[in-house]
């Protein structure tokens, strides 16, 4: 076992992994970041955390967790599914008294508002397990009420997923995730990482997306309706909307006319605002 890491007095992450036998499990999407200079840069992307509660998913051996605490996060709430990581995380808690809470849980089962306790909101920062990253993101983006319980999300994804999140109309990557993310937030890719940045290296490159929630997304449709409309439109992305939207309504041409969208257009030609307008018209016709 070698000495302490100069930055925070805790052992280097490679020693932590060896001490607690944290060999990476593929099934849990374990690709660790062991370079504290890099994790500090990532934590820095979330801005000033000194008065913030941070929610971290999948702290693993704690590289990003330590960086968040070093950067001055007031409180970090970490949710980790792999119990093998708990002793390593307990050591970090001891080094930062009263600032790190660890919850041994599956992030897909967490009630986020309850987890926050009396904190009014939180910033989510995570190197997400790729197997559940899109599902977690969609849950956070579809959360109600809106504005949500988080003020910002800084999240690592596979590069291909990050590109879908920020994709523009008329591109191959543009789809349901782009529309949901861009209607409710202002997503930006803020860092790209090659596979070698991780231990073990994944097969694909990665990217970090910074999401800032938009207080009042426009037009103000129901998020579930937007999801239904994009599912129908992109389920048959090459078809004209007058045909693909038959799944939603027996009168797709009427719906399109009310939303001022030509029936011959296809899903990938429509802007985020067009989709939200279609969803709003559908909400109004359901309410009528
Ligand atoms: N944050 C660490 C880092 O950057 O080195 C580890 C990131 S690793 C990509 C993903 C982490 O998420 C692992 O620690 C894994 O055990 C954890 N994990 C996987 N599925 C999870 C789930 N459903 N809920 C909570 N944590 C999960």
Nearest-CA residue for atom 10 of ligand 1: 129
Average pLDDT over residues 87-103: 97
Q: Quote the ligand 1 centre to 81 CA distance (angstroms).
A: 7
pLDDT at 2: 46
pLDDT at 6: 57
Average pLDDT over residues 181-197: 98
Q: Quote the ligand 1 centre to 147 CA distance (angstroms).
A: 26
pLDDT tens, residue by residue, 244-266: 999 999 999 999 999 999 999 99
DSSP character string of 3-69: ---TTTSSPPHHHHHHHTT-PPPGGGT--B---HHHHHHHHHTT---TT-EEEEE--TTSHHHHHHH
Closest ligand 1 atom to 31 CA: 9
The band of 1, judged by pLDDT with boundaries at 50, 70 and 90, is: very low
How far, in Å, CA of 115 to CA of 109, rounded? 11
Per domain, the residue ranges of the chain are 13-213, 223-287
The answer to whether the beta carbons of residues 34 and 7 sit under 8 Å apart is no
How far, in Å, CA of 19 to CA of 192, rounded? 31
Angle between helices 159-166 and 176-184 (to 10 degrees): 60
pLDDT tens, residue by residue, 213-243: 999 999 999 999 999 999 999 999 999 999 9
CATH code that applies to domain 223-287 = 1.10.8.100
pLDDT at 3: 52
Mean pLDDT of the chain: 95
Any ligand 1 atom below 6 A from CB of 81: yes
286 Cβ partners below 8 Å, 6+ apart?
A: 225
Q: Quote the ligand 1 centre to 45 CA distance (angstroms).
A: 19
Any ligand 1 atom below 6 A from CB of 80: yes
Average pLDDT over residues 124-135: 97
How far, in Å, CA of 272 to CA of 180, rounded? 8
Q: Quote the ligand 1 centre to 148 CA distance (angstroms).
A: 23
71 has a pLDDT exceeding 80: yes
285 has a pLDDT exceeding 70: yes
Ligand 1 pocket check: which of 58, 200, 206 to mutate, most ligand atoms within 8 Å of Cβ?
58
Average pLDDT over residues 274-280: 97
200 has a pLDDT exceeding 50: yes
Give percent of the chain above pLDDT 70: 97
pLDDT at 287: 65
Closest ligand 1 atom to 28 CA: 19
The answer to whether the beta carbons of residues 212 and 186 sit under 8 Å apart is yes
pLDDT tens, residue by residue, 159-173: 999 999 999 999 999
Place of tokens 């302490």: 4
CATH code that applies to domain 13-213 = 3.40.50.150
User: How far lies 233's CA from each of 29, 163, 222, 236, in Å?
Assistant: 31, 20, 17, 6
Any ligand 1 atom below 6 A from CB of 32: yes
Ligand 1 pocket check: which of 34, 78, 81 to mutate, most ligand atoms within 8 Å of Cβ?
81
H-assigned helices in the chain: 13-19, 36-44, 63-70, 86-95, 112-116, 130-141, 159-166, 176-184, 223-235, 241-244, 252-258, 272-287
Beta bridge partners of residue 209, listed in sequence order = 155, 189
């Amino acid at each position: 076992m070698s000495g302490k890491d100069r930055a925070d007095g805790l052992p280097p992450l490679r020693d932590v992994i060896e001490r607690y036998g944290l060999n990476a499990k593929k099934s849990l999407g374990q690709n660790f970041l062991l370079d504290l200079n890099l994790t500090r840069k990532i934590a820095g992307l979330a801005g000033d955390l000194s008065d913030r509660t941070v929610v971290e998913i999948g702290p693993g051996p704690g590289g990003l967790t330590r960086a968040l605490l070093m950067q001055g996060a007031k409180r970090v709430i970490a949710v980790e599914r792999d119990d093998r990581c708990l002793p390593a995380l307990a050591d970090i808690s001891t080094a930062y008294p009263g600032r790190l809470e660890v919850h041994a849980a599956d992030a897909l089962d967490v009630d986020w508002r309850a987890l926050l306790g009396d904190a009014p909101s939180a910033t989510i920062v995570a190197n997400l397990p790729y197997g559940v990253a899109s599902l977690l993101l969609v849950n956070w983006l579809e959360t109600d009420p809106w504005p949500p319980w988080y003020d910002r999300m800084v999240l690592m994804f596979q590069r291909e997923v990050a590109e879908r999140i920020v994709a523009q109309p008329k591109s191959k990557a543009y789809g349901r995730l782009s529309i949901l993310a861009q209607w409710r937030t202002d997503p930006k890719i803020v860092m790209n990482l090659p596979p070698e940045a991780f231990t073990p290296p994944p097969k694909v490159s990665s990217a970090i997306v910074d999401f800032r929630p938009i207080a009042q997304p426009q037009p103000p449709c129901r998020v579930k309706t937007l999801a239904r409309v994009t599912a129908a439109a992109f389920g048959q992305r090459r078809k004209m909307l007058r045909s693909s939207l038959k799944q939603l309504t027996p009168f797709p041409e009427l719906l399109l006319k009310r939303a001022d969208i030509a029936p011959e257009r296809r899903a990938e030609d429509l802007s985020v605002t067009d989709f939200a307008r279609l969803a709003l018209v559908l909400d109004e016709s359901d309410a009528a």
